[in-house]
Amino acid sequence: MKKENTTVTGFPGPTARITRARAAAYQAAGGTLPSQPSAKQDQKRVLRENSKRAALDENNSSAPVAGDLQHKRRAVLKDVTNICCENLYTNCINAAKLQSKNSNKAKRGPVKKDSKVAPSNPVEVPAVQEDVTTINAEKIEKPEKLEPQEVACSTEVKYHFPMQISTGSTTIQSVGCDPQAKIKICRWPPQLSSPLKKDKYNLCENLGSSSCLGITDIDSDDKDPQMCSLYAADIYNNLRVVELVRRPSFNFMEALQRDITQSMRGILVDWLVEVAEEYKLVPDTLYLAVYFIDRFLSVNYMERQRLQLLGITCMLIASKYEEICAPRVEEFCFITDNTYTKGEVLQMESQVLNYLGFQLSAPTAKTFLRRFLRAAQASYMVPNLELEFLANYLSELTLIDYTFLKFMPSLIAASAVFLARWTLDQSCHPWNPTLEHYTTYKASDLKVTVLALQDLQMNTNDCPLNAVREKYKQHKFKCVATLTSPNPHKIPF
């Protein structure tokens, strides 16, 4: 603490600050308290006050120098905190209002904290400051709400609504910033809120289907990794393109081949069906072998003596591609009664592979049949094995007939499913929105192919090639080769 040199008359001892205790002690000793400080003390006090308040005295010359210092200090603080902030609060409120109109979200205005130095005497606050404080308090307690017009406009900027939106056959025109109109435009129907249902909604519109709810999602089961549920749609879209690019010629017998005929080709394929049964090869091997034969015959001239060599060579290549344990070359030579040697088979294999450019992957009717049968089984509570066997039987019959090369593999597979469903059940239409969605074929698109396939089923041409029929007359295939379809004039297209 600072000590002051105060001389008290009539009381010896060191000089000290006079407190209440010392004053009581002086009075008890019979002394008198000094009424005024000494001249030296007044001079020091004035110098100290002038040094500390020099800047304030220069700016506020009208204030007394040694007068009421406490009132002077409060007046200065009043000017800084109250009068200067009056304009500051007003400017902040105006800026906050302008900013809230131009921005997407409402923002609160800045809130000023009160000064930590509080005067002891009550200070009169101007009326303008009280109004400003009341407004800011209400803004803090109740956040400012934008008008509906501003909300609609901000929503339009955020989601970039177009001025004209078409949904099906109805076109909605956006008018101004009406929030209800924006909600009607941007929302989907309640039953189509999920992304999958939105895709079905768009596809149903493109296909012209009347009901979107009839489509069953056959790729919803993603637990089995072999089904490739996440990529199935993209895979089959790519296969639909490839079947157009790598397609054999459908008139090579008339345009190129002179020594072989359609019946010779049918005999070769019918024999390969028996070979596949003998060695228990998968159906994909048979389909792929026939595809290689047709591709090679589309460009390369072939003599009838070497036609069987081409057949076993294509079966060997397809076995190496599809089978886990493919038959050896010697076995294929053996089934031809050693008509061809191992060297001749290997030489023909080199010719076929060089022509194909070693591009052995190709979509066949069996490839699409798996996908379409899965879509057809979606309408059954329990998988219908008879439907699956009958569709496979009808599809394999087309391998023997040369005239079916003019139809694409996906069209043959869809027609086989259509005719199989109609053969087993005539009480309902064989085509539904699910099949239409996943095959991308309408019932009217299948009419020509289904009628031609029905002729094969009923064997109207009395074809003597019975390898496929004998195969599907077995009990393990539920004897589906014995089934016949009703009158073709009754088939609904």
Structural domain spans, the chain:
1-58, 69-113+123-141, 147-187, 248-356, 365-490
- Answer for the pair 433, 376: CB distance below 8 angstroms, yes or no: no
CATH architecture of the domain with range 365-490? Orthogonal Bundle (1.10)
**Residues 6 or more apart in contact with residue 36 via CB below 8 angstroms:** none
The CATH homologous superfamily of the domain defined by 248-356: Cyclin-like (1.10.472.10)
Helix (H, G, I), strand (E, B) or coil at 205: helix
- Answer for the pair 248, 324: CB distance below 8 angstroms, yes or no: no
State how far the Cα of 292 lies from the Cα of 313, in Å rounded to an integer.
Answer: 9
Instruction: Identify the CA nearest to 331 among candidates 280, 296, 294.
Output: 280
The conformation of residue 83, written as its DSSP 8-state character, comes to I
Q: What is the pLDDT of residue 190?
A: 40
Equal fold, 248-356 vs 365-490: yes
pTM of the model: 0.59
State how far the Cα of 1 lies from the Cα of 465, in Å rounded to an integer.
Answer: 125
pLDDT in tens, the chain (493 residues): 444 444 444 444 445 566 777 777 767 766 555 555 555 555 555 445 554 455 444 454 444 444 444 444 444 444 444 444 445 455 555 555 555 555 544 444 444 444 444 444 444 444 444 454 555 545 444 444 444 444 333 333 333 333 343 334 334 343 344 444 333 333 334 443 344 444 544 544 444 443 455 788 988 877 778 777 888 999 999 999 999 998 999 999 999 999 999 999 999 999 999 999 999 999 999 999 999 999 999 999 999 999 999 999 999 999 999 999 999 999 999 999 999 999 999 999 999 999 999 999 999 999 999 999 999 999 888 889 999 999 999 999 999 999 999 999 999 999 999 999 999 998 889 999 999 999 999 999 999 999 999 999 999 888 899 999 999 999 999 999 999 887 777 888 7
